[in-house]
Amino acid sequence: MVCSCLISSLLLLLVSSSISPSYSFKIKSASFLSPKQVMTPGSVTDPHLFDIDFPRGHIGIKGFDAEVVDEDGNPVPLHETYLHHWVVHPYYVRKGFNLSQLDLDLPRNDLLGSSPDYIPIRNGGLCGNRVRHYFGLGSETRKTSTYVPDPYAIEIGNPEETPDGYEFKWLLNIHAIDTRGVVDKQGCTECRCDLYNVTVDEYGRALEPGYKGGLYCCYDKTQCLVRKGFEDGDKTRTLYLKYIVRWVDWDSSVLLPAKVYILDVTDSWEPSEGSTGDIQEHFCHVEYDVEPCTTSGDGCVDVRTKSLMIPFNGYIVYGVAHQHAGGLGAALYRADGEGICSSMPKYGNGHEPGNEAGYIVGMSSCYPKPVKVTYGETLTLEFNYSNVVGHTGVMGLFYILVAQQLPEPESSLQAHAKSVSFLALLAVTVVVVVVAVVVLIAAVVYRRQNREDGYQSLST
């Protein structure tokens, strides 16, 4: 009885330790607030914030989530403050150089390119300086999973990669539109130039003829048309982007690096003789317009596709698309039509933050069984929008994480874990057998002694 009890409880112990997470790293998490943003009805904020708070050191990012909150930390709904996007990327800055000063002195285009003082670090995608973020989402931020699947992580801050005399820092760009009291919420969130009364971009250059709406009309400090009673600016509120970073300390014995690549359905690239797929061959427009359909009914879907030559090798382990309201879903295919990943919008149907009716409140992320992609292969992006009504400035970005290496089926880690549990099982078995044998021998000896005693007692 005692023996079999012991065995089953030991077995139980063994089972519960082998079903615990197979990767032995500890995920840390921290929550930060951006510098404050002061907004009034119809106002737009689109700052580039340098040197934001971020976990330091050589780490692997496992997730990055964000949302807009007010001064008391309460989530702010999209129908009050529309989050057009937030994006985050690292950069190197020469030690002792004050970047915020540069921000005031130079037009952003110059600033965002590299200089001897400032070297942005871009994702590995094909858009070069036009889409450089490592992490970034828009209105969908509250219900989109950003978790990087195990055993992968986005490796950051490897001290061996930082150039001498430079520091590693992070930049955050928040683009938010306060739509309280505006005449046309959809028009303001789609950055329609007439509502912003804008005819020149933020550097004072005339807009291209026919440009009806998009990022060039809702830049920092522009103002969307508001109803009477909302113009006087007395409804000032202070907002923050709250962001939560999940990470692990870098440990190459248990983690595999995955890199961010962003593909854009508006990429200008076309196959040509001798093209290498190099970044210089690409121009990403980042946004596009959807014209209203001429027929009516169910057929009103704008389907946009783009085939791109992939200039890298690796395995896709995660994917998510970014769409604006009107989005109906996006997918990534191989040339032969095999689906790799699709990402579908979730629309809200209520009033509260995270469920705002008419807004995309989440995009489904895909976690495929790692999909191998090979240098020179062509992949196709597909982005669908409803065109029952027209839209300006919509987006079609597809964000993927690509690992260079897979955990081998019997990776050293799992093999190690398996050999450990095998050894444990062996040890336990040996102990149990030894205990059983000892107990058995003891019992036999005891009984024999008893018998002998009995015999002796009988004999005496």
Binding site for ligand NAG (CB under 6 A): 98, 100-101, 104, 197, 301, 303, 328-331, 342, 382, 384
Nearer to ligand NAG, 100 or 129 (CB): 100
The closest residue (CB) to ligand NAG is 329
Nearer to ligand NAG, 110 or 194 (CB): 194
Nearer to ligand NAG, 239 or 363 (CB): 363
Nearest approach, Cβ of residue 27 and ligand NAG (Å): 32
d(CA 203, CA 94): 26
Nearer to ligand NAG, 9 or 199 (CB): 199
Nearer to ligand NAG, 96 or 159 (CB): 96
Nearest approach, Cβ of residue 335 and ligand NAG (Å): 17
DSSP string spanning 446-457?
Answer: HHHHHHHHHHHH
> Long-range contacts made by residues 349-357, C-beta under 8 angstroms, separation at least 24?
351/77, 351/79, 352/77, 353/67, 353/75, 353/76, 353/77, 353/78, 353/142, 354/75, 354/142, 354/143, 356/77, 356/78, 356/79
Nearer to ligand NAG, 101 or 294 (CB): 101
d(CA 48, CA 411): 42
Given a contact cutoff of 8 angstroms between Cβ atoms, the answer to whether 391 and 289 are in contact is yes
Nearest approach, Cβ of residue 306 and ligand NAG (Å): 13
Nearest approach, Cβ of residue 101 and ligand NAG (Å): 4
Q: DSSP class of residue 200? A: B
Nearest approach, Cβ of residue 180 and ligand NAG (Å): 18
Closest CA to 309 of 366, 263, 371: 263
Nearest approach, Cβ of residue 330 and ligand NAG (Å): 5
Nearer to ligand NAG, 303 or 430 (CB): 303
Q: What are phi and psi of 129, to 5 degrees?
A: -70, -15
Given a contact cutoff of 8 angstroms between Cβ atoms, the answer to whether 370 and 313 are in contact is no
Given a contact cutoff of 8 angstroms between Cβ atoms, the answer to whether 87 and 173 are in contact is yes
DSSP string spanning 402-432?
Answer: EES-PPPTT-HHHHHHHHHHHHHHHHHHHHH
Given a contact cutoff of 8 angstroms between Cβ atoms, the answer to whether 241 and 67 are in contact is yes
Nearest approach, Cβ of residue 148 and ligand NAG (Å): 23
